[in-house]
């Protein structure tokens, strides 16, 4: 065997090894625990999703799933953490309409770009919202709430999980369409506002069913309507805001999705999308999601990316129309 022949064979072997390494690396993922960053406090819809899928996701990926609540700044603290993490699939964002779309239309300055700095993995669920009032408010319908608010401008206040949150935008859209004056009181998460709402320190809230309906069932709050275009399958007797308040076209629903840092390898992206699709098809997981008022969606990364861009455009216009831009 000549030196040239040996050299060519060595070169070919090296090329083959280089081609095999990415495949082996992709097959090895994940080889350690995966973090799910929840950019809101415990007790809200985003946290509820993470905890509903955690056990099944751990089984599917074969690694522990660690949930970390990194709340603050309408979810931007947690989202920024993920945006700046290594694109290796071990740090994932449980994002929602605020962190992935609304914030981009509301805030003039953001520490991350939801399109450029994050990789969409999958849209996970739609979140059913409900309009509730504390028992001390003398209304039982949306129409009565509008009439009472107009007769008492500035007397009512509504709570949200923070300025720029989906709850904030849902209420501001309601105010704009009804011409009412209801004062905004931002909280650090949905869980924090529930106590004040039950106590009557604030009187109104648009929030997820999982947070509000247990209080409604206990008689501590009164549900007036749901925010979606259609009635909730779990609570068919509760009308929509559009039909109960004479507000055709009103719709306030939230959504969630998984995102990873930009630059995530396609093999890992595919693995994660398949894992979340499998988990959400599990009957037990679907039951937990339904209990929390979360409706599974699914789909591919490209589909989710297009949806995020369309939602940014939609909520940017809404923010401009109702004057909800923030620094």
Q: How far, CA to CA in Å, does 6 sit from each of 3, 13, 15?
A: 5, 11, 14
Q: How confident is the model at residue 10 (pLDDT cuts 50, 70, 90)?
A: very low
Q: What is the mean pLDDT of the chain?
A: 89
| pLDDT value at residue 233 | 81
Segment 292-320, tens digit of pLDDT = 889 999 999 999 999 999 999 988 888 88
pLDDT at residue 161 tops 90 = no
Note whether 94 and 37 are within 8 A (CB). Answer: yes
Dist. CA 124–CA 94, nearest whole Å: 9
Dist. CA 224–CA 148, nearest whole Å: 14
Dist. CA 119–CA 114, nearest whole Å: 8
pTM for this model (two decimals): 0.80
9 alpha-carbon distance from chain centroid: 54
SS3 256: strand
Edge-first strand listing for the sheet containing 204-208: 183-186, 157-160, 204-208, 129-133, 222-226
Dist. CA 34–CA 63, nearest whole Å: 7
Average pLDDT over residues 204-223: 93
Dist. CA 114–CA 200, nearest whole Å: 37
Note whether 100 and 311 are within 8 A (CB). Answer: yes
| pLDDT value at residue 189 | 80
pLDDT at residue 246 tops 50 = yes
| pLDDT value at residue 8 | 41
Average pLDDT over residues 170-189: 91
| pLDDT value at residue 23 | 40
Q: Which two tokens stand for residue 167?
A: 């709850």
Q: How confident is the model at residue 106 (pLDDT cuts 50, 70, 90)?
A: confident
Segment 184-209, tens digit of pLDDT = 999 988 888 999 999 999 999 998 88
Say which DSSP state 239 is in.
P
Average pLDDT over residues 37-65: 95
């Amino acid at each position: 065997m000549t030196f040239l022949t040996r050299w060519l064979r060595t070169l070919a072997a090296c090329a083959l090894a280089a081609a095999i390494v990415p495949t082996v690396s992709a097959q090895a993922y994940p080889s350690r625990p995966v973090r799910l960053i929840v950019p809101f406090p415990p007790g809200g819809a985003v946290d509820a999703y993470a905890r509903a899928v955690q056990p099944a996701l751990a089984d599917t990926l074969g690694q522990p799933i660690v949930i970390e609540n990194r709340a603050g700044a309408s979810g931007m603290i947690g989202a920024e953490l993920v945006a700046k993490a290594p694109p290796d699939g071990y740090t994932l964002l449980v994002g929602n309409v605020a962190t992935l779309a609304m914030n981009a239309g509301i805030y003039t300055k953001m520490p991350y770009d939801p399109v450029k700095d994050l990789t969409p993995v999958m849209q996970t669920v739609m979140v059913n919202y409900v309009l509730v009032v504390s028992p001390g408010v003398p209304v039982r319908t949306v129409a009565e709430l509008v009439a009472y608010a107009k007769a008492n401008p500035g007397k009512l206040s509504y709570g949200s999980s923070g300025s720029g949150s989906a709850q904030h935008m849902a209420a501001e859209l309601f105010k704009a369409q009804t011409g009412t004056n209801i004062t905004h009181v931002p909280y650090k998460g949905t869980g924090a506002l529930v106590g004040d709402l039950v106590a009557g320190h604030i009187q109104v809230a648009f929030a997820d069913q999982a947070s509000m309906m247990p209080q409604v069932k206990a008689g501590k709050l009164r549900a007036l309507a749901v925010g979606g275009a259609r009635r909730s399958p779990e609570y068919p007797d509760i009308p929509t805001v559009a039909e109960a308040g004479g507000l055709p076209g009103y719709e306030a629903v939230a959504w969630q999705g998984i995102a990873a840092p930009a630059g995530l390898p396609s093999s890992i992206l595919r693995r994660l999308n398949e894992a979340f699709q499998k988990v959400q098809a599990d009957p037990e997981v679907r039951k937990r999601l339904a209990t929390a008022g979360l409706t599974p969606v699914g789909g591919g990364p490209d589909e989710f990316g297009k949806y995020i861009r369309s939602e940014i455009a939609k909520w940017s216009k809404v923010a401009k129309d109702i004057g909800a831009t923030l620094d």
